[in-house]
Amino acid sequence: MTAQQVVRAVVAVPAVDRAPRAIGNLLRAADLPLEVEAVCSGDGIGLVLADGPHAGTVATLREAGVRFLACANTLSGRGLTADDLAEGVGVVPAAVWHLVRRQHEGWSFLPL
């Protein structure tokens, strides 16, 4: 139905609770090549803090290929910087724009 061979999904993570399990379910169920970005903003930023309780989860999902991104608007609003993020977590200027731009590029969108 589509010529695009790889499914790409940008996942909005506005809170921590459901995210790790939902992303795990997504990876396990995919029966096509799948690329995933998880964009953490608001309270979801707690998922990707270096000293947070979820560092192990994030490391495991990163090894499975998930790219984690933090919203710079959230970071500055909470007095945080990129130095507070777990290893390998990227930063986007605004989660809202990243989610819109990725869909424009053909990515699927999954809000958690």
> With binding defined as CB under 8 A, does residue 96 bind a copy of itself?
yes
- Which one of 81, 82, 87, 109 is in contact with a copy of itself (CB under 8 A)? 109
Q: Check: CB of residue 2 under 8 Å from CB of residue 30.
A: no
Look-up of token digits 């993020």: 85
Q: Does 103 bind a copy of itself (CB under 8 A)?
A: yes
82 in contact with a copy of itself (CB under 8 A): no
Give me the amino acid identity at 14.
P
The answer to whether residue 70 forms part of the interface with a copy of itself (CB under 8 A) is: no
- Out of 1, 51, 79, 83, the only residue in the binding site for a copy of itself (CB under 8 A) is 1
| 26-65: contacts with a copy of itself (CB under 8 A) | 26, 28-32, 34
Nearer of residues 39 and 48 to a copy of itself, judged by Cβ: 39
C-alpha to C-alpha distance for 41 and 18, rounded to whole angstroms: 14
Is 108 among the residues that bind a copy of itself (CB under 8 A)?
yes
All residues at 6 or more sequence positions from 110 whose CB lies less than 8 Å from its CB, including other chains: 9, 10, 11, 12, 22, 26
26 and 55 Cβ atoms separated by less than 8 Å: no
